[in-house]
A and B are shown apart, each in its own frame.
Chain A
Amino acid sequence: MKKLITVLSVAMLSMMIVETSFAQATATQNVTLAVNTVYKIAASGNPGPLTITTGTAGVDALTSVSDASTTYSLTQNFGNTVKVTAHLDAALASGYNLGLSLASTKGTSAGTVDISGATSGSAVDMVTNITRGADAGQIITYTFSANASAGTLASTTKVVTLTLTN
Protein backbone atom coordinates (compact mmCIF):
# COMPACT_ATOMS: atom_id res chain seq x y z
CA MET A 1 0.00 0.00 0.00
CA LYS A 2 2.85 2.33 0.93
CA LYS A 3 4.49 1.63 -2.36
CA LEU A 4 1.34 2.52 -4.26
CA ILE A 5 1.00 5.80 -2.38
CA THR A 6 4.63 6.68 -3.16
CA VAL A 7 4.16 5.93 -6.86
CA LEU A 8 0.99 8.02 -7.02
CA SER A 9 2.68 10.90 -5.22
CA VAL A 10 5.57 10.90 -7.65
CA ALA A 11 3.18 10.78 -10.58
CA MET A 12 1.16 13.75 -9.30
CA LEU A 13 4.27 15.75 -8.61
CA SER A 14 5.50 15.10 -12.13
CA MET A 15 2.18 16.24 -13.58
CA MET A 16 2.37 19.43 -11.53
CA ILE A 17 5.87 20.14 -12.80
CA VAL A 18 4.80 19.54 -16.36
CA GLU A 19 1.83 21.80 -15.91
CA THR A 20 4.09 24.50 -14.47
CA SER A 21 6.40 24.15 -17.46
CA PHE A 22 3.56 24.56 -19.90
CA ALA A 23 2.53 27.71 -18.07
CA GLN A 24 5.84 29.56 -18.93
CA ALA A 25 5.62 32.46 -21.36
CA THR A 26 8.33 33.33 -23.94
CA ALA A 27 9.18 36.44 -25.84
CA THR A 28 11.53 36.86 -28.77
CA GLN A 29 13.41 39.81 -30.12
CA ASN A 30 15.14 40.36 -33.39
CA VAL A 31 18.50 42.04 -33.00
CA THR A 32 19.98 43.56 -36.10
CA LEU A 33 23.76 43.55 -36.11
CA ALA A 34 26.07 45.29 -38.55
CA VAL A 35 29.71 46.27 -38.67
CA ASN A 36 30.49 49.01 -41.08
CA THR A 37 33.79 49.43 -42.84
CA VAL A 38 36.25 51.07 -40.48
CA TYR A 39 39.42 52.85 -41.50
CA LYS A 40 41.37 54.63 -38.82
CA ILE A 41 44.91 55.96 -38.89
CA ALA A 42 46.53 58.35 -36.44
CA ALA A 43 50.03 59.69 -35.90
CA SER A 44 51.47 60.33 -32.46
CA GLY A 45 52.48 63.92 -33.19
CA ASN A 46 54.96 65.87 -35.26
CA PRO A 47 58.64 65.00 -35.74
CA GLY A 48 61.35 67.32 -34.50
CA PRO A 49 62.95 69.87 -36.84
CA LEU A 50 65.13 68.29 -39.50
CA THR A 51 68.11 70.63 -39.85
CA ILE A 52 71.14 69.91 -41.99
CA THR A 53 74.21 71.44 -40.43
CA THR A 54 77.24 69.75 -41.89
CA GLY A 55 78.79 68.01 -44.84
CA THR A 56 82.06 66.70 -46.21
CA ALA A 57 84.50 68.86 -48.15
CA GLY A 58 84.50 67.91 -51.80
CA VAL A 59 81.13 66.14 -51.68
CA ASP A 60 77.99 67.81 -53.02
CA ALA A 61 75.63 65.69 -50.93
CA LEU A 62 75.44 67.12 -47.42
CA THR A 63 75.16 64.96 -44.34
CA SER A 64 71.55 63.85 -44.01
CA VAL A 65 69.53 63.99 -40.80
CA SER A 66 66.81 61.67 -39.54
CA ASP A 67 63.95 61.61 -37.07
CA ALA A 68 62.25 58.50 -35.75
CA SER A 69 60.50 60.00 -32.75
CA THR A 70 56.92 59.54 -33.92
CA THR A 71 54.67 56.56 -34.53
CA TYR A 72 51.42 55.75 -36.27
CA SER A 73 48.63 53.36 -35.44
CA LEU A 74 45.89 51.97 -37.65
CA THR A 75 42.77 49.88 -37.45
CA GLN A 76 40.80 48.53 -40.38
CA ASN A 77 38.30 45.77 -41.03
CA PHE A 78 37.86 46.24 -44.76
CA GLY A 79 40.09 43.56 -46.20
CA ASN A 80 43.62 42.41 -46.80
CA THR A 81 44.51 44.80 -49.58
CA VAL A 82 44.43 48.01 -47.62
CA LYS A 83 47.41 50.35 -47.88
CA VAL A 84 48.91 53.50 -46.44
CA THR A 85 49.95 56.22 -48.84
CA ALA A 86 51.83 59.46 -48.19
CA HIS A 87 52.05 62.82 -49.86
CA LEU A 88 53.17 66.37 -49.17
CA ASP A 89 51.08 69.52 -49.39
CA ALA A 90 53.61 70.83 -51.92
CA ALA A 91 56.65 69.31 -53.59
CA LEU A 92 60.15 70.13 -52.40
CA ALA A 93 62.49 72.09 -54.65
CA SER A 94 65.08 70.20 -56.64
CA GLY A 95 68.15 69.25 -54.63
CA TYR A 96 66.25 68.60 -51.42
CA ASN A 97 65.07 65.11 -50.60
CA LEU A 98 62.64 63.93 -47.94
CA GLY A 99 62.55 60.19 -47.36
CA LEU A 100 59.84 58.48 -45.35
CA SER A 101 59.70 54.99 -43.93
CA LEU A 102 56.77 53.40 -42.11
CA ALA A 103 57.35 50.26 -40.12
CA SER A 104 54.56 47.67 -40.21
CA THR A 105 53.68 44.31 -38.73
CA LYS A 106 50.33 43.92 -40.52
CA GLY A 107 51.46 44.81 -44.01
CA THR A 108 54.44 45.11 -46.32
CA SER A 109 56.54 48.22 -45.76
CA ALA A 110 58.04 49.79 -48.87
CA GLY A 111 61.07 50.89 -46.84
CA THR A 112 62.41 54.39 -47.28
CA VAL A 113 60.48 56.12 -50.05
CA ASP A 114 61.28 59.50 -51.55
CA ILE A 115 58.22 61.68 -51.02
CA SER A 116 59.88 64.93 -52.15
CA GLY A 117 57.69 65.16 -55.22
CA ALA A 118 54.60 63.35 -53.94
CA THR A 119 51.55 65.59 -53.83
CA SER A 120 47.86 64.82 -53.41
CA GLY A 121 47.60 63.72 -57.02
CA SER A 122 50.66 61.51 -56.86
CA ALA A 123 50.69 59.95 -53.42
CA VAL A 124 53.13 57.11 -52.99
CA ASP A 125 52.48 53.72 -51.40
CA MET A 126 54.22 53.31 -48.05
CA VAL A 127 52.68 50.11 -46.69
CA THR A 128 50.67 47.65 -48.78
CA ASN A 129 48.71 44.42 -48.24
CA ILE A 130 47.66 45.39 -44.74
CA THR A 131 45.58 42.65 -43.23
CA ARG A 132 42.47 43.22 -41.13
CA GLY A 133 43.07 44.25 -37.55
CA ALA A 134 45.10 46.82 -35.70
CA ASP A 135 48.73 47.83 -35.88
CA ALA A 136 49.79 50.15 -33.10
CA GLY A 137 52.88 52.21 -32.37
CA GLN A 138 54.71 51.64 -35.64
CA ILE A 139 57.76 53.87 -36.09
CA ILE A 140 57.75 56.68 -38.64
CA THR A 141 61.23 57.61 -39.87
CA TYR A 142 61.97 60.80 -41.80
CA THR A 143 65.30 61.31 -43.56
CA PHE A 144 66.14 64.74 -44.93
CA SER A 145 69.04 65.22 -47.32
CA ALA A 146 70.21 68.05 -49.52
CA ASN A 147 72.91 68.93 -52.01
CA ALA A 148 75.25 71.85 -51.53
CA SER A 149 74.37 72.92 -55.06
CA ALA A 150 70.77 73.47 -53.93
CA GLY A 151 71.87 76.15 -51.48
CA THR A 152 70.60 76.85 -48.01
CA LEU A 153 66.98 76.42 -46.97
CA ALA A 154 65.30 78.70 -44.49
CA SER A 155 63.13 76.93 -41.93
CA THR A 156 60.19 75.51 -43.89
CA THR A 157 57.21 73.47 -42.78
CA LYS A 158 55.66 70.75 -44.90
CA VAL A 159 52.48 68.83 -44.19
CA VAL A 160 52.81 65.10 -44.68
CA THR A 161 49.49 63.31 -45.09
CA LEU A 162 49.23 59.62 -44.34
CA THR A 163 46.14 58.02 -45.84
CA LEU A 164 44.71 54.61 -45.02
CA THR A 165 42.77 53.47 -48.06
CA ASN A 166 41.96 50.50 -50.23
Chain B
Amino acid sequence: MKQIIRILAGRLPRFSGFLILSSATLLSQPSVSNQVVTLEVLELNKIFLSKDFLSLDPVAVLESSAERSAVSGRARLVWTSNGGARKISIASKLASPSCLVRVDLTAVRGSTAAKNRLELDDASTQDFIHGLSKSAGSCEVVFLVVTNDPEWVRPHIHAVVYTVTSS
Protein backbone atom coordinates (compact mmCIF):
# COMPACT_ATOMS: atom_id res chain seq x y z
CA MET B 1 0.00 0.00 0.00
CA LYS B 2 2.80 2.36 0.92
CA GLN B 3 4.51 1.56 -2.35
CA ILE B 4 1.37 2.42 -4.33
CA ILE B 5 1.06 5.70 -2.48
CA ARG B 6 4.72 6.43 -3.15
CA ILE B 7 4.27 5.75 -6.89
CA LEU B 8 1.17 7.93 -7.06
CA ALA B 9 2.91 10.67 -5.14
CA GLY B 10 5.79 10.52 -7.57
CA ARG B 11 3.47 10.95 -10.56
CA LEU B 12 1.29 13.61 -8.96
CA PRO B 13 3.16 16.64 -10.42
CA ARG B 14 2.81 15.30 -13.94
CA PHE B 15 -0.85 14.46 -13.34
CA SER B 16 -1.46 17.94 -11.93
CA GLY B 17 0.23 19.47 -14.95
CA PHE B 18 -2.06 17.49 -17.22
CA LEU B 19 -5.11 18.66 -15.30
CA ILE B 20 -4.02 22.31 -15.49
CA LEU B 21 -3.29 21.98 -19.21
CA SER B 22 -6.68 20.40 -19.83
CA SER B 23 -8.42 23.16 -17.91
CA ALA B 24 -6.57 25.83 -19.85
CA THR B 25 -7.43 24.14 -23.13
CA LEU B 26 -11.06 23.98 -22.20
CA LEU B 27 -11.09 27.61 -21.18
CA SER B 28 -9.53 28.73 -24.45
CA GLN B 29 -12.00 26.90 -26.65
CA PRO B 30 -13.06 29.05 -29.61
CA SER B 31 -16.39 30.81 -29.42
CA VAL B 32 -18.90 30.24 -32.22
CA SER B 33 -22.05 31.95 -33.37
CA ASN B 34 -24.40 30.62 -36.03
CA GLN B 35 -26.60 32.44 -38.50
CA VAL B 36 -29.21 30.90 -40.77
CA VAL B 37 -29.21 32.29 -44.31
CA THR B 38 -32.15 31.64 -46.63
CA LEU B 39 -31.25 31.56 -50.33
CA GLU B 40 -33.55 31.41 -53.34
CA VAL B 41 -33.32 32.03 -57.08
CA LEU B 42 -36.59 32.55 -58.89
CA GLU B 43 -37.09 31.69 -62.54
CA LEU B 44 -36.46 34.62 -64.79
CA ASN B 45 -36.61 35.08 -68.53
CA LYS B 46 -35.31 38.24 -70.10
CA ILE B 47 -35.37 39.37 -73.73
CA PHE B 48 -33.95 42.55 -75.09
CA LEU B 49 -34.02 43.86 -78.64
CA SER B 50 -31.46 46.46 -79.59
CA LYS B 51 -33.98 48.45 -81.57
CA ASP B 52 -37.57 48.95 -80.58
CA PHE B 53 -38.56 50.54 -83.87
CA LEU B 54 -37.40 49.51 -87.30
CA SER B 55 -38.36 51.27 -90.49
CA LEU B 56 -38.53 48.60 -93.14
CA ASP B 57 -38.62 49.51 -96.80
CA PRO B 58 -39.73 46.96 -99.35
CA VAL B 59 -36.55 46.08 -101.17
CA ALA B 60 -37.60 43.03 -103.06
CA VAL B 61 -40.54 41.76 -104.95
CA LEU B 62 -41.75 38.28 -104.17
CA GLU B 63 -39.82 35.60 -106.04
CA SER B 64 -37.28 38.14 -107.13
CA SER B 65 -33.78 36.80 -107.42
CA ALA B 66 -32.52 39.71 -105.37
CA GLU B 67 -34.61 39.02 -102.28
CA ARG B 68 -32.14 36.73 -100.57
CA SER B 69 -29.44 39.33 -100.31
CA ALA B 70 -31.68 42.27 -99.66
CA VAL B 71 -31.82 43.55 -96.11
CA SER B 72 -34.35 46.01 -94.92
CA GLY B 73 -33.42 46.24 -91.28
CA ARG B 74 -31.60 44.39 -88.56
CA ALA B 75 -31.57 44.26 -84.79
CA ARG B 76 -29.80 42.27 -82.11
CA LEU B 77 -31.81 40.01 -79.86
CA VAL B 78 -30.35 38.91 -76.54
CA TRP B 79 -31.87 36.70 -73.90
CA THR B 80 -31.22 35.16 -70.52
CA SER B 81 -33.19 32.32 -68.99
CA ASN B 82 -32.49 30.22 -65.94
CA GLY B 83 -35.48 28.01 -66.55
CA GLY B 84 -35.39 24.66 -68.27
CA ALA B 85 -36.74 23.93 -71.77
CA ARG B 86 -37.85 27.38 -72.79
CA LYS B 87 -38.37 28.86 -76.24
CA ILE B 88 -38.85 32.24 -77.82
CA SER B 89 -41.86 32.54 -80.07
CA ILE B 90 -42.61 35.38 -82.41
CA ALA B 91 -45.82 36.79 -83.80
CA SER B 92 -46.73 39.77 -85.88
CA LYS B 93 -49.82 41.71 -85.10
CA LEU B 94 -51.31 43.71 -87.97
CA ALA B 95 -49.61 41.53 -90.57
CA SER B 96 -50.79 42.00 -94.12
CA PRO B 97 -50.94 39.26 -96.78
CA SER B 98 -49.63 41.73 -99.31
CA CYS B 99 -46.60 42.49 -97.21
CA LEU B 100 -44.49 39.59 -96.17
CA VAL B 101 -41.82 40.05 -93.52
CA ARG B 102 -39.06 37.52 -93.62
CA VAL B 103 -36.98 37.09 -90.53
CA ASP B 104 -33.53 35.54 -90.71
CA LEU B 105 -31.38 34.62 -87.76
CA THR B 106 -27.64 35.01 -87.97
CA ALA B 107 -24.73 35.02 -85.57
CA VAL B 108 -26.53 32.88 -83.03
CA ARG B 109 -24.66 32.55 -79.74
CA GLY B 110 -25.73 30.27 -76.95
CA SER B 111 -27.10 26.78 -76.75
CA THR B 112 -30.21 26.89 -78.89
CA ALA B 113 -31.97 25.25 -81.75
CA ALA B 114 -32.92 28.35 -83.65
CA LYS B 115 -34.85 28.46 -86.88
CA ASN B 116 -32.85 30.07 -89.61
CA ARG B 117 -35.79 31.71 -91.29
CA LEU B 118 -39.47 32.28 -90.80
CA GLU B 119 -42.07 34.43 -92.45
CA LEU B 120 -44.58 36.67 -90.83
CA ASP B 121 -47.60 37.02 -93.04
CA ASP B 122 -50.38 36.49 -90.58
CA ALA B 123 -51.03 36.82 -86.87
CA SER B 124 -50.05 33.27 -85.99
CA THR B 125 -47.42 32.66 -83.37
CA GLN B 126 -44.37 30.80 -84.57
CA ASP B 127 -41.58 29.16 -82.68
CA PHE B 128 -38.44 31.17 -83.17
CA ILE B 129 -35.69 29.89 -80.94
CA HIS B 130 -35.96 26.50 -79.24
CA GLY B 131 -33.94 24.87 -76.57
CA LEU B 132 -33.29 27.76 -74.24
CA SER B 133 -32.13 26.10 -71.10
CA LYS B 134 -30.35 27.86 -68.29
CA SER B 135 -28.31 30.10 -70.50
CA ALA B 136 -27.74 33.49 -71.97
CA GLY B 137 -27.46 33.99 -75.70
CA SER B 138 -27.88 36.35 -78.58
CA CYS B 139 -28.51 36.48 -82.29
CA GLU B 140 -28.91 38.99 -85.03
CA VAL B 141 -32.37 39.30 -86.50
CA VAL B 142 -32.45 40.37 -90.12
CA PHE B 143 -35.73 41.60 -91.53
CA LEU B 144 -36.63 41.61 -95.15
CA VAL B 145 -39.88 43.07 -96.42
CA VAL B 146 -41.22 41.44 -99.51
CA THR B 147 -44.32 42.75 -101.15
CA ASN B 148 -46.39 41.65 -104.06
CA ASP B 149 -47.95 45.06 -104.25
CA PRO B 150 -46.01 47.00 -106.86
CA GLU B 151 -47.70 50.20 -105.84
CA TRP B 152 -46.57 50.32 -102.25
CA VAL B 153 -48.00 53.54 -100.99
CA ARG B 154 -49.42 53.19 -97.55
CA PRO B 155 -47.27 52.22 -94.58
CA HIS B 156 -47.61 48.77 -93.13
CA ILE B 157 -47.04 48.45 -89.44
CA HIS B 158 -45.98 45.17 -87.89
CA ALA B 159 -45.93 44.88 -84.16
CA VAL B 160 -43.60 41.96 -83.65
CA VAL B 161 -43.98 40.29 -80.29
CA TYR B 162 -41.32 38.02 -78.79
CA THR B 163 -42.38 35.75 -75.98
CA VAL B 164 -40.51 33.28 -73.79
CA THR B 165 -42.64 30.25 -73.06
CA SER B 166 -42.27 26.63 -72.12
CA SER B 167 -41.19 24.34 -74.93
Q: Which of B33-41, B63-71, B114-122, B123-131 contacts A (4 or more CB under 8 A)?
A: B33-41
**Residue tally, chain B, CB below 8 Å to A:** 34
> 1/0 per residue B46-66: CB within 8 Å of A?
111000000000000000000
Residues of A within 8 A of B79 (CB): 57-58
A-B interface contact total, Cβ < 8 Å: 155
B24 within 8 A of A: yes
A59 within 8 A of B: yes
Given A51-B40, A51-B41, A152-B43, A60-B33 contact (CB < 8 Å): no
Contact, CB under 8 Å: A162 / B40: no
Contact, CB under 8 Å: A49 / B38: yes
B147 within 8 A of A: no
Given A51-B42, A52-B42, A58-B138, A160-B37 contact (CB < 8 Å): yes
Q: Which residue from B28, B34, B41 sits with its C-beta under 8 Å from A153?
A: B41
A interface with B by C-beta (< 8 Å): 36-37, 39-43, 45-60, 62, 70, 72, 74, 78, 92, 96, 98, 140, 142, 144, 146-166
24 contacts between A and B (CB under 8 A): A36-B27, A37-B27, A39-B31, A42-B33, A43-B33, A51-B42, A53-B42, A57-B47, A57-B80, A58-B78, A58-B136, A60-B136, A62-B44, A74-B31, A98-B39, A146-B82, A149-B136, A151-B83, A152-B82, A153-B41, A155-B39, A157-B36, A159-B37, A163-B30
